[in-house]
Structure 1
Amino acid sequence: MSKKSDRQSAIIVRLSSNPTLRVGELAEEFGVTGETIRRDLDDLSERGSISRTYGGAVLRPASEPSLSQRHKDLVQERTAIAYRAANYVKDASVLMIGSGATTTHVARRLATVMKNATVVTHSFSVATVLSINPTIRVLIVPGLYHAGEGAMHGGQALRFLEGLNADWAILGASGVSPEGPSDALIEAAEVYTAMIARSTRRMLVCDATKFDRVATARFARWSQIDLVISDIRPTGPLLASLEREQVGLDLVNSQK
């Protein structure tokens, strides 16, 4: 396959089924040089179709659905992740929890197993599910309200977090790539970065559909994450990055 447009279309198709690809693999498959593939990847990256990684590329996801829609998806997987996550933090004194469907599941579980704790969150859905437990004190982060995410963002939120400390930060992600976790909302990523900076330990909770995806704003390097809880074991460069940075990986199914 030598025609540039056909080759680039085929690269997109290949990334849809094999989200992380290396330059050498693509060059061999299409019978062209590595330099030709690099130019193809640069073109696709400039058009926003993919995101370049070291030595390859990952597919850039479409805009993330609203939080209300995400709450309806992958309920079984997220519930299992939430139960596992709660085991790690149920005895903590102070938690910071980011917005998202999976983190809301975690908060719902924490409401049944935690006592006499403080939770700092910018998410109204997280605060709402925690409210059933009167022993949990909830601090809502102030800021500019984002209706689609049901959360507070912006400079005021960041300044508020600067004065706090937590035992754990519990965060979700729109994308999880070899470079680190990322979010579709730049404003949310800023809040997550602040929570990571103010927490002793940091946990990422995400299902495997987020693997090998890159969203708009990366909010951490893997060296800043202590634990990933998911449903399926990652593979390839993503797994290599987690192992290199000694990130703990806990899976909620039998795929160890």
Structure 2
Amino acid sequence: MSRKKAARHKSIIDELTIHPSMRVNELASALNVTTETIRRDLEELAEQNLISRTYGGALLRQAVEPVLNERHKTNIAERVAIAKKAAPILKEAKVLMIGSGVTTVEVAKRIAYEMNNITVITHSFGVATVLSLNPTIKVIMAPGLYHAEEGSTHGSVTCQFLTNYTVDWTILGASGLAPTGPSDALVDAADVYKQMIRQSTHNMIVADHSKFDRLATARYAKWDEIDNLITDKKPSGPLKKALSKAEVQIIVATVQ
């Protein structure tokens, strides 16, 4: 690869880091090259699995997420605000499923504070721990292979176990929110989330704006399978259009 092309590829990644979803003509204008050149560059970057091509543009692929303990240190105010908006929506529910992640743990904290006499099925030890603060909440832990960095169980045993239950709501986080749907950096976690969605009457995604226009390794749902997205900013562009088309209710939490 020539130095000129390598520099251009780096510039494209830099642009997508600032604006995770961009169209071909926007990138061509930003880099002062033709749209044909940009299209060739995007195809090469997609082959390297650095980006994902979209109709007329590109999405930056989500890098491997930091481990759970590191993620707990970021976007704290946003997660708290999201949890405060999420809990009231669940007030009529009697049985829930909750996936792993830092935002879902925050929602679980709020559930422990606001709700009583419910049953929660989870594969996340963090979720189970905070729910145990409320003795009226019955927590059922899904068995499976333990993933130490995520503090949760995964695998076929976990997914099979979940088929024994039907719930009112499933609450899930995400590594990325793209027009094609929510996704997770861990394939095994995505498999669990798919099963949780199958077992639930209603499905909720809780994720802050840093996940917008990001595509992680494994998509676990289409937007028409999701009822609510609770986030801290309004989505825009293709993501907003996809959510609107799928009739996903977007609830924006104000950060204090």
TM-score by length of 2: 0.94
Partner of residue 87, structure 2: 86
Three-state SS of the structure 2 residue aligned to 1:64 is: coil
What is the aligned-residue RMSD (CA, Å)?
1.6
1:237, distance to aligned residue in structure 2 (A)? 0.8
Counterpart of 1:8, as a letter, is H
Partner of residue 101, structure 2: 100
Structure-to-structure mapping, 1:103-252, within 5 angstroms: 103-252=104-253
CA contact (8 A) 1:168 1:200 kept: yes
1:27, distance to aligned residue in structure 2 (A)? 3.4
Residues 37 and 100 (structure 1), Cα distance of their counterparts in 2 relative to 1, 3 Å cut: same
1:161, distance to aligned residue in structure 2 (A)? 0.9
Q: Residue deviations 1:209-256, cap 9 Å, x none?
A: 1111111100011111111000011111111111111110000128xx
1:29, distance to aligned residue in structure 2 (A)? 4.2
Question: 2: CA distance between counterparts of 1:173 and 1:148?
Answer: 16
CA contact (8 A) 2:62 2:185 kept: no
Question: 2: CA distance between counterparts of 1:90 and 1:129?
Answer: 18
Three-state SS of the structure 2 residue aligned to 1:145 is: strand
1:52, distance to aligned residue in structure 2 (A)? 1.9
- Of stretches 199-208 and 37-46 in structure 1, the one that deviates more from structure 2 is 37-46
1:45, distance to aligned residue in structure 2 (A)? 1.6
1:28, distance to aligned residue in structure 2 (A)? 4.3
CA contact (8 A) 1:104 1:125 kept: yes
Question: 1: CA distance between counterparts of 2:221 and 2:173?
Answer: 12
For structure 1, the 5+ residue unaligned runs are none
Partner of residue 45, structure 2: 44
Question: 2: CA distance between counterparts of 1:213 and 1:97?
Answer: 22
How many equivalent residue pairs? 253
1:31, distance to aligned residue in structure 2 (A)? 5.1
Question: 1: CA distance between counterparts of 2:125 and 2:175?
Answer: 18
CA contact (8 A) 2:68 2:149 kept: yes
Question: 2: CA distance between counterparts of 1:39 and 1:162?
Answer: 45
Q: Residue deviations 1:61-95, cap 9 Å, x none?
A: 22101111111221111011001100100220110
Q: Residue deviations 1:188-229, cap 9 Å, x none?
A: 000001001110110000010111111110001111111100
1:133, distance to aligned residue in structure 2 (A)? 1.0
| 2:68 counterpart of 1:67 | yes
Question: 2: CA distance between counterparts of 1:162 and 1:33?
Answer: 52
Question: 2: CA distance between counterparts of 1:244 and 1:33?
Answer: 32
Question: 2: CA distance between counterparts of 1:32 and 1:68?
Answer: 42
Question: 2: CA distance between counterparts of 1:29 and 1:193?
Answer: 39
Question: 2: CA distance between counterparts of 1:86 and 1:204?
Answer: 12
Question: 2: CA distance between counterparts of 1:239 and 1:211?
Answer: 10
Three-state SS of the structure 2 residue aligned to 1:63 is: coil
CA contact (8 A) 1:203 1:227 kept: yes
Question: 2: CA distance between counterparts of 1:65 and 1:11?
Answer: 23
CA contact (8 A) 1:208 1:232 kept: yes
CA contact (8 A) 1:91 1:114 kept: no
1:33, distance to aligned residue in structure 2 (A)? 4.5
- Of stretches 144-153 and 40-49 in structure 1, the one that deviates more from structure 2 is 40-49
Counterpart of 2:165, as a letter, is L
Counterpart of 1:17, as a letter, is I
Question: 2: CA distance between counterparts of 1:210 and 1:57?
Answer: 16
- Of stretches 133-142 and 31-40 in structure 1, the one that deviates more from structure 2 is 31-40
For structure 2, the 5+ residue unaligned runs are none
